[in-house]
């Protein structure tokens, strides 16, 4: 009690942090226990699975050449990449107006919109996927709604479209939040300036506002793309084995066949794609941060 | 802070949202809340199927949930694992956050990125990799195996939550306490702990929920003897078509929301005081 009441007085001291006692190297030792845990139970297992892709059942690139020639893996990989691309594009198109609206409404409405967009974060993963299962099933609300507006017999359960819909919903926060924080820093007077120079409102928006929101778009887009590649539960429950995505194939190879070599090869491909996108993003994020500093919105 | 003048310049011309934008926001909002909203009425269904909306209402799936040894055992398993994970991950995570914010050494950025890696790695790769070594180490289907694997996944969330509260920590306060004659221990318990507590609490909550909700790794580590609640839920859709999952889903939604809300409320309480 006493400590909490003294806090405001103490925080009122104007000096900023980082100026206190000189950081001691000893504090770095605090990282060791967690680092050891991750090393043994995270990095070692991942290194092992990659290693096994080159050694089981035979040493060499056998698992990788098999992926190219089995006639399924390449198709699955392409389907996964296309699905992730479609999900990322759809999420961007849906999130853009929402994030834009968040910058234009009052504080109270913005609070409500923020809570709503964070809802998928909070909702239990299994509960969420179960809900989509109910909504998308044969005879479910989505089929009946589509039937009522003239599209008969469209059942989303068991299709890539059904999987994509559920992915878009859960990925929306990862798109809306970066978009919003980017848009918040855009000076709206630039639009008025464009207007006073004779540009119609839509053109001022397309030529001035949209380009300024590109950094937010890119960070949201890449995040959604990467995370979508790795989805397992959603395609397993809502998709079909005939149109499986890469993570389902990895899971099946291990749980049905105990084929760690083959699963490891596919997993390594997935890891490589993820890391490549991350690398590209970090290169870009560096330059966009510099851009933000130049514009004065850091 | 720059908002009011901008609004004035903007004038009434662009004040509100147009009907097109309003419609788009409303539809997006509907998409965002639909699954959460659907789960609760479904759990009060009287039917034997996943039919929605339910035609009859009852509490039978809640009775089935709380009356079933299998579901209760899964719930208990999940709660136990979740609490252990929350404790272990919080202790390790607080240490990491202190280490990261209070030391400077070459490669600090790399260490930070590596510690965050479990958050961004594809879940299935992590699951299969851990399963692969756990078979050899005979940790499959053991409580220790679950706790260790979930702690790895929960750690980044604790580190993020605690680092955020530490980065706003003004270390001149430690000096102030020392000049007033406080020992290092007194400073730690009277200054550091109260200031960092909200961050630690939300880290604890995140770790608990991460473990409680985790399915992919748990699906691979499960054995008939040890199954977590999400695994039982998964099996009840894929293997059994058992509507008890509707009651389980509603409970999960309510519990995770409450657990994640508590740190927020504590924080607000402190701020208003």
Interface touch A127/B252, C-beta < 8 Å: yes
Name the closest residue on chain A to residue B261, using Cα atoms. A122
Interface touch A116/B32, C-beta < 8 Å: yes
List, in sequence order, every residue forming a beta bridge with B223; answer none if it has no partner.
B226
Can you tell me the distance from the alpha carbon of A31 to that of B99, in angstroms, rounded to the nearest whole number? Answer: 6
The mean pLDDT value for A199-217 works out to: 89
HEC readout, chain A:
CHHHHHHHHHHCCCCCCCCCCCCCHHHHHHHHHHHHHHHHHHHHHHHHHHHHHHHCCCCCCHHHHHHHHCCCHHHHHHHHHHHHHHHHHHHHHHHHHHHHHHHHCCHHHHHHHHHHHHHHHHCCHHHHHHHHHHHHCCCCHHHHHHHHCCCCCCCCCCCHHHHHHHHHHHHHHHHHHHHHHHHHCCCCHHHHHHHHCCCCHHHHHHHHHHHHCHHHHHHHHHHHHHHHHCCCHHHHHHCCHHHCCHHHHHHHHHHHHCCHHHHHHHHHHHHHHHHHHHHHHHHHHHHHHHHHHHHCCC
pLDDT for the residue A35 = 94
ipTM for the complex shown: 0.87
Confidence grade of residue B262 (pLDDT, cut at 50, 70, 90): confident
In angstroms, how far is CA A169 from the centroid of its own chain?
Answer: 11
Interface touch A7/B35, C-beta < 8 Å: no
Per the structure, the count of domains in chain B is 2
| B245–A contact, CB cutoff 8 A | yes
Indicate whether B155 and B98 sit together in one domain.
Answer: yes
Interface touch A23/B103, C-beta < 8 Å: yes
Indicate whether B166 and B211 sit together in one domain.
Answer: yes
Indicate whether B14 and B105 sit together in one domain.
Answer: no
pLDDT for the residue B26 = 95
Residue A263 has pLDDT above 60, yes or no: yes
Q: In B, which residues are within 8 Å of A5 by CB distance?
A: 273
**Highest-confidence segment of A282-296, B162-176, B207-221:** B207-221
Confidence grade of residue B9 (pLDDT, cut at 50, 70, 90): very low
Residue B194 has pLDDT above 80, yes or no: yes
Confidence grade of residue A93 (pLDDT, cut at 50, 70, 90): very high
Can you tell me the distance from the alpha carbon of A71 to that of A90, in angstroms, rounded to the nearest whole number? Answer: 29
> What percent of chain B shows pLDDT beyond 70?
93
Confidence grade of residue B8 (pLDDT, cut at 50, 70, 90): very low
Indicate whether B25 and B148 sit together in one domain.
Answer: no
Residue B3 has pLDDT above 50, yes or no: no
What's the pLDDT tens digit per position in A103-139?
999 899 999 999 999 988 888 999 999 999 999 998 8
The mean pLDDT value for A205-221 works out to: 90
Mean per-residue pLDDT of chain A: 85
Interface touch A38/B117, C-beta < 8 Å: yes
pLDDT for the residue B2 = 41
Indicate whether B76 and B198 sit together in one domain.
Answer: yes
| Among B residues 153-172, those touching chain A with beta carbons less than 8 Å apart | 155, 159, 167-172
In a domain, residue B105? The reply is yes
Indicate whether B164 and B264 sit together in one domain.
Answer: yes
Q: Count A/B contacts: CB-CB distance under 8 Å.
A: 290
pLDDT for the residue A7 = 39
Indicate whether B18 and B72 sit together in one domain.
Answer: no
Of B122, B133, B167, the CB nearest to A271: B122
HEC readout, A31-81:
HHHHHHHHHHHHHHHHHHHHHHHHHCCCCCCHHHHHHHHCCCHHHHHHHHH
What's the pLDDT tens digit per position in B127-142?
999 999 999 999 999 9
Closest of A130, A105, A18 to residue B18, by C-alpha: A105
Smallest Cα distance from A7 to chain B, Å: 8
Indicate whether B171 and B228 sit together in one domain.
Answer: yes
Sign of the Cα torsion A44, A275, B161, B77 reads negative
In a domain, residue B78? The reply is yes
pLDDT for the residue A280 = 84
Indicate whether B158 and B259 sit together in one domain.
Answer: yes
Provide the CATH topology of domain A72-295: MetI-like fold (1.10.3720)
Domain range for residue B21?
A: 3-32
Task: Quickly count: other Cβ atoms within 10 Å of residue A266's Cβ.
Answer: 25
| Among B residues 191-230, those touching chain A with beta carbons less than 8 Å apart | 191, 194-195, 212-213, 215-216, 219-220, 230
| A123–B contact, CB cutoff 8 A | yes
In a domain, residue B43? The reply is no
Residue A297 has pLDDT above 50, yes or no: no
Of B6, B98, B132, the CB nearest to A27: B98
Indicate whether B21 and B68 sit together in one domain.
Answer: no
The domain that contains B235 carries what CATH number? 1.10.3720.10
Indicate whether B94 and B216 sit together in one domain.
Answer: yes
The CA radius of gyration of chain B, in Å to the nearest whole number, is 24
Indicate whether B109 and B171 sit together in one domain.
Answer: yes
Name the closest residue on chain B to residue A46, using Cα atoms. B129
| Among B residues 58-87, those touching chain A with beta carbons less than 8 Å apart | none
């Amino acid at each position: 009690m006493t400590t909490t009441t003294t806090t405001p007085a103490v925080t009122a001291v104007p000096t900023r942090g980082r100026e206190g006692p000189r950081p001691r190297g000893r504090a770095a030792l605090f990282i060791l226990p967690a680092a050891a845990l991750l090393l043994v139970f995270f990095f070692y297992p991942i290194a092992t699975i990659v290693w096994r892709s080159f050694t089981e059942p035979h040493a060499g690139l056998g698992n990788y050449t098999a992926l190219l020639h089995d006639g399924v893996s390449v198709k699955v990989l392409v389907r996964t990449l296309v699905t992730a691309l479609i999900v990322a594009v759809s999420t961007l198109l849906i999130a853009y107006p929402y994030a834009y609206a968040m910058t234009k409404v009052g504080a109270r409405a913005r609070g409500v919109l923020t809570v709503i967009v964070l809802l998928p974060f909070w909702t239990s993963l299994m509960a969420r996927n179960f809900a989509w299962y109910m909504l998308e099933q044969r005879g479910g609300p989505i089929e009946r709604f589509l039937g009522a507006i003239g599209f008969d017999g469209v059942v989303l359960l068991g299709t890539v479209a059904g999987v994509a819909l559920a992915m878009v919903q859960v990925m929306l926060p990862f798109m809306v939040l970066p978009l919003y924080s980017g848009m918040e820093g855009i000076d709206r007077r630039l639009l008025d300036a464009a207007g006073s120079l004779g540009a119609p409102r839509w053109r001022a928006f397309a030529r001035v506002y949209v380009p300024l929101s590109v950094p937010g778009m890119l960070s949201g887009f890449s995040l959604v793309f990467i995370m979508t590649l790795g989805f397992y539960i959603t395609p397993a429950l809502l998709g079909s084995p005939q149109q499986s995505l890469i993570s389902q194939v990895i899971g099946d190879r291990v749980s049905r066949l105990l084929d760690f070599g083959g699963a490891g090869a596919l997993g390594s491909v997935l890891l490589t794609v993820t890391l490549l996108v991350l690398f590209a993003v970090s290169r870009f994020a560096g330059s966009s941060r510099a851009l933000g500093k130049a514009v004065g919105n850091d | 802070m720059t908002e009011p003048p901008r609004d004035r310049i903007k004038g009434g011309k662009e004040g509100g949202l147009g009907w097109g934008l309003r419609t788009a926001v409303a539809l997006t909002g509907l998409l965002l809340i639909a699954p959460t909203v659907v789960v609760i009425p479904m759990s009060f269904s009287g039917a034997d199927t996943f039919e929605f909306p339910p035609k009859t209402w009852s509490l039978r799936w809640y009775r089935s949930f709380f009356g079933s040894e299998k579901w209760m055992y899964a719930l208990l398993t999940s709660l136990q694992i979740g609490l252990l994970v929350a404790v272990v991950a919080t202790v390790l995570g607080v240490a990491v956050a202190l280490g990261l914010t209070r030391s400077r050494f070459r490669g600090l950025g790399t260490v930070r990125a590596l510690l965050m890696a479990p958050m961004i790695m594809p879940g299935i790769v992590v699951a299969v990799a851990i399963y692969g070594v756990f078979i050899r180490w005979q940790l499959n289907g053991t409580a220790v195996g679950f706790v260790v694997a979930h702690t790895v996944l929960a750690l980044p969330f604790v580190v993020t939550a605690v680092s955020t509260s530490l980065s706003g920590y003004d270390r001149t306060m430690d000096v102030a306490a020392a000049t007033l004659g406080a020992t290092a221990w007194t400073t730690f318990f009277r200054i550091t702990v109260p200031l960092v507590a909200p961050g630690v609490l939300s880290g604890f909550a995140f770790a608990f929920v991460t473990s409680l909700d985790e399915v992919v790794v748990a699906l691979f580590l499960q054995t008939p003897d040890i199954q977590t609640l999400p695994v039982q839920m998964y099996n009840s859709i894929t293997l059994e078509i058992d509507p008890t999952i509707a009651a389980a889903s509603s409970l999960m939604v309510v519990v995770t929301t409450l657990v994640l809300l508590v740190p927020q409320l504590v924080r607000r309480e402190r701020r208003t005081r």
